[in-house]
Chain A
Amino acid sequence: MFDRRLLTHFDWVLLLVVCLVTAIGVLNLYSATSVWPPAGTPIYLKQVYWLGIGLLIAACVCAFDYRHLEYLGFIFYGVTVLLLLFVLLFGKTSMGATRWIHLGFFNLQPSEVMKIVIIITLARYFSEKGVAAYSLRELLGPALLLGLPVLMIMKQPDLGTALLVIFIGGTMALFAGIRRSALVVLGLLGIGAMVGGWFLLHGYQKERILTFLDPERDPLGAGYHIIQSKIAVGSGGLLGKGFMKGTQSQLSFLPERHTDFAFSVFAEEWGFSGSLLLLLLYLFLIIWGIYIARRAGDRFGMYLAIGVVAMMFWHIVVNLGMVIGLLPVVGVPLPLFSYGGTSMVTTMIGTGLLLNVSMRRFMF
């Protein structure tokens, strides 16, 4: 039986903002890849196809009541951990990292799936406990739930995704409330982990961080991206060089200009005014997501929404921070903007969850 309220309460605002950002993204991809179009289907068109697939997935995700996820969460979690294990044992290796399970028509990346699954799992954990402020001992459970997949993802190695999963879980825990004393201990532990972790990092990962601190260290290798990206962004000025007129990006000085560095192309061509507009759109998306959490019909829905918002937020912040030289280069895509099917699908699943929570807020 279909409840008509679902339609009347559909969150058109959210959908509109998501589509608007994606549309700008597609336009930007068109520009970024127009000079030297790869043979075959143009990148921007592929992105449109991915958008179509993503919207379809979002529709599926919001079609069934998110509350069922509360029960399914742990099963998803178990399955995804097994998939991660499978990747570690038999995964497809590409460029030194093993992240994919080859499924013939596409490559499944379980670490991406984990981003969504960890949100569902922790949402259930925190909504069930319902503690006002967690002590260290009470946080042990979620820490283990989070830690296991993070370690497995780091082993692949995929530091960027592992960090994002930590950020998502951390944000949710922070939102759930942590006792002040516990926070202090966690902070100290975090610093300790960072120092200790340095020795666990792969050479190239250390190199990236060192290069981030001093890009001139390796102006043609790891530093090249940062320098070129900063030149592209900075030379955009107030109004930008104009659509399809960015000299840096158009002349392909800018590597990865359609994936992780898509924003550099945009910032060069549209200048500060364009960057401001895009940033405001993203901020609106985040605030609107928080608003959805605020109005959620139940605690599980609230945590779910918070988790999705955290995921989007950290992607945006890490990617932008990276291309404007605030953070080291870790391969994190800009949601709805960078080219790529995986990122699009993950973001659209998140969007579907938000829509789901939003339109079922009256069903209690």
Chain B
Amino acid sequence: MSINSGWSVSPGSRRRFLALSLAAMGIFGLLLLRLWYLQLIRVDHYQALSERNRIRYVPISAPRGPIYDRDGELLVENRPAFGVSVLRQEVEDRDRLISHLAAFLGEDPEVLLKRWEGNRRFPKHRPLPIAEDISREALEVIQENSIDLPGVLVDVRPMRSYPYGEMAAHLFGYLGEITEAELQQAEDDGYRPGDFVGKSGLEKRLEPSLRGVAGDRLVEVNVKGKELRQLKTRDPVPGYKVYLTIDRDLQLAAEKAFGEQAGAAVVLDVKTGEVLAMVSRPSFDPALFARGISGQEWVQLLRNPRHPLQNKAIKGQYPPGSTFKIVTALAALNAGVASASTTVDCTGGMQLGNRQFRCWKKHGHGRTDLKKALKESCDVWFYQVALDLGIDRLSAMAKALGLGEPLGFPLEWEKGGLIPTRQWKKKRYNAGWYDGETVIASIGQGYVLATPLQMAVMTAAVASSGTVLKPQVVKRIEDLSGNVLESATPQVLNRVALSEADLKAVRRGLEAVLNEPGGTAWASRLEGLSAAGKTGTSQVVKLKEDRYKEKTEDIEYRFRDHALFVAYAPTEDPQIALCVVVEHGGSGSKAAAPIARSILASYFGIPTEPPEETPAIPGE
């Protein structure tokens, strides 16, 4: 095929070019004629229409997905609340409107003005939320005076509500109004100013599942802003349903058991790693946040020395104290430096170089083997064993059992605790490791830190012969039609190779803690349940020589020891494992073990207190 060289346009084609050009001009002429008609002849008609015809989009917030416990008990739901928005384009006199609104709402005009100004960039024809959850009285007053309040809209929006108040507030987290920065980050996700988003806890973590899709109403309004008719409605789509692994009754019982004390508790299902209860005390009322917390309330929460906003179960890092002896015992047996029959003569302390390491029992435990060492929490046995064991093998066992690193719990800022090693100390302090430090570490003091969650996981691992399971709290997520979108399956983080004999030896000691007279938690035993546990008391500050004499009540609160207790039950086929930490509670046996007892009692349905007065049943 040749290129048509020497080609020239034929006369026929020339005519076609002309025809084509004329056709194009003709059709464009038609378009122009139409524009002429619309824009010059009919201009008055259309201008009138454009004046009259105002259409408003009113957003409808989507109800956030409800949160249930493992049995489908509703833990977090939504209730209808009235909110006030302002369509700024319809407002003629801002200051007058604000002063009116403030009076009706009983709010400070400054606060309303601030919200108004804070969202200047938000388009004027969109309703700008200005007050949340107003009272029925305020609603009535506003509706009666609506004629004086052009541009003010009242709508019903779903608001988070918490039937159990402060219960598990740290786990749920709280909501807050979306910030400018979050709005920018959320890009095209359809968030609007005034939206409430998860700011912490599961509300934040599960935001995409919980938020749902907002709908809107298209409304025709007249020049005065009065709604003439509804044109179109897009219904909002509620967020997904979230089922937690939490057991509501157990959670309530655990929280109740704490009373006014501060601290944390974690209860795990030994077989799946599911969190059955997670307590952090003191708590806060998440409902405060649902409608927008005031600055004053916020500062109060932040300044509280007992840190009510912190989830101590995952962020609290405590010296595990004697509960760590479980780790030391397993490490020593595993390394072969000690056996169940290794005996140490405890005289109340151990001399190492020129330093005396004391046992908590001033006059000593006498001849002590592993079982007795665990049962009575003899420090000297562990001091001795740790010297042969060395810090490296001790740390390795601790880490293998889930201590020292965050466990991948689905909440932000889970802390990792601290398991010291030679390397760590070199890096951190540029100093060598001393035997004395190993001795202190063996009883969970010194540098050693762990979170209640980690201690519970460690305990569960001992109960399940060395299987370290990832703690999980979201059981499943369902869409509206009940399709399961996500569901938890047990995830093994590690399998620690422990011999049956070693495990048996350690468990025997732990069982004695609760089940034999003289065990440190003997007082907290439960009739009809064979449980195993370990008490712990961890020093907050190095105390003076006379610590034996002082009563807990005589020490200033912030210097009091933390009380700890870990346990699993039943011993023959462990189902649950738990850790209780009572901040500044004094001793583990006195403060923490009774709480654990209540938790176990609740879980296994063992009555612990005489039943309250039975109400008279009519007809009996």
Contact = CB atoms under 8 A, between A and B. Distances in A.
B38 interface: yes
Interface string B216-256: 00100000000000011000000000000000000000000
Contacts of B4: 127, 298-300
Interface residues of A, number: 54
A341 interface: no
B218 to A, nearest CB: 7
Contact of B20 (A175, A276, A324): A175
A163 to B, nearest CB: 16
A279 interface: yes
Interface stretch (B21-29, B444-452, B511-519, B600-608): B21-29
A90 interface: no
B547 interface: no
A237 B28 contact: no
Contact of B50 (A235, A252, A290, A364): A235
Interface in B19-58: 20-21, 24-25, 27-28, 30-32, 34-36, 38-40, 42-43, 45-47, 49-50, 53-55, 57
A313 B30 CA distance: 14
B46 A235 contact: yes
B188 A237 contact: no
Contacts of B36: 272
B7 interface: yes
Nearest to A283: B28
B49 to A, nearest CB: 5
Given A177-B12, A231-B49, A298-B7, A272 B31 contact: no
A247 B46 CA distance: 12
Interface stretch (B179-187, B293-301, B562-570): B179-187
A299 B7 contact: yes
Contacts of B7: 297-299, 364
B38 A279 contact: no
A146 interface: no
A39 B57 CA distance: 18
B43 A237 contact: yes
Contacts of A306: 20
A248 B35 contact: no
A65 to B, nearest CB: 10
A157 B176 CA distance: 44
Interface string A223-242: 00000001111111110000
A12 interface: no
A92 interface: no
B38 A230 contact: yes
A275 B21 CA distance: 20
A180 interface: no
Given A38-B188, A276-B32, A231 B46 contact: yes
A129 to B, nearest CB: 12
A309 B36 CA distance: 25
A5 B182 CA distance: 56
Given A290-B17, A317-B27, A324 B232 contact: no
B571 to A, nearest CB: 56
B16 interface: yes
Interface residues of B, number: 53
A62 to B, nearest CB: 18
A128 B1 contact: yes
Contacts of B125: 35, 251-252
Main secondary structure of the interface of B (DSSP, over half): helix
A355 B320 CA distance: 78
B9 interface: yes
B16 A175 contact: yes
B53 A231 contact: yes
A231 B50 contact: yes
A233 B38 contact: yes
Interface string B112-143: 00000000000111100000000000000000
Nearest to A271: B39
A19 interface: no
A191 to B, nearest CB: 20
B121 to A, nearest CB: 8
Between B1, B14, B20, B123, the greatest number of chain A beta carbons within 10 A of the residue's beta carbon is seen for B20
A293 B17 contact: yes
B3 interface: yes
B304 interface: no
Contacts of B354: none
Interface in A319-349: 320-321, 324-326
A39 B192 CA distance: 10
A290 B31 contact: no
Contacts of B183: 39
Contacts of A302: 9, 13
A146 B55 CA distance: 44
B20 A253 contact: no
B32 A279 contact: yes
A220 interface: yes
A182 to B, nearest CB: 16
B5 interface: yes
B610 interface: no
A251 B188 CA distance: 20
B90 to A, nearest CB: 11
A326 B10 CA distance: 36
A237 B39 contact: yes
Given A230-B46, A238-B40, A298-B4, A39 B31 contact: no
A130 to B, nearest CB: 8
B415 to A, nearest CB: 34
Contacts of B30: 326
A325 B187 CA distance: 35
Contact of A326 (B20, B34, B187, B191): B34
A241 B232 CA distance: 28
A324 B184 contact: no
Given A220-B218, A302-B9, A326-B31, A233 B17 contact: no
Contact of B57 (A35, A252, A317): A252
A282 interface: yes
Contacts of B12: 132, 177
A262 interface: no
B305 interface: no
A220 B232 contact: yes
A233 B39 contact: yes
B55 A253 contact: yes
Contacts of A252: 57, 123, 125
B353 interface: no
Nearest to B24: A286
Contacts of A127: 4
Contact of B16 (A35, A177, A286): A177
Nearest to B124: A35
A234 B46 contact: yes
Given A39-B183, A233-B38, A326-B30, 14 more contacts: A35-B123, A40-B187, A220-B218, A234-B43, A234-B47, A235-B43, A237-B47, A252-B123, A267-B35, A283-B25, A293-B17, A298-B3, A300-B3, A324-B38
Interface of B: 1, 3-7, 9-10, 12-14, 16-17, 20-21, 24-25, 27-28, 30-32, 34-36, 38-40, 42-43, 45-47, 49-50, 53-55, 57, 89, 123-126, 183-184, 186-188, 191, 218, 231-232
15 contacts: A39-B187, A233-B46, A234-B46, A234-B50, A235-B43, A248-B50, A251-B89, A272-B35, A272-B40, A286-B28, A287-B24, A294-B9, A313-B24, A317-B28, A326-B31
9 cross-chain pairs, A with B, having the tightest CB-CB distances, nearest first:
A234-B46, A235-B50, A272-B39, A234-B38, A235-B46, A237-B43, A36-B123, A235-B47, A298-B4
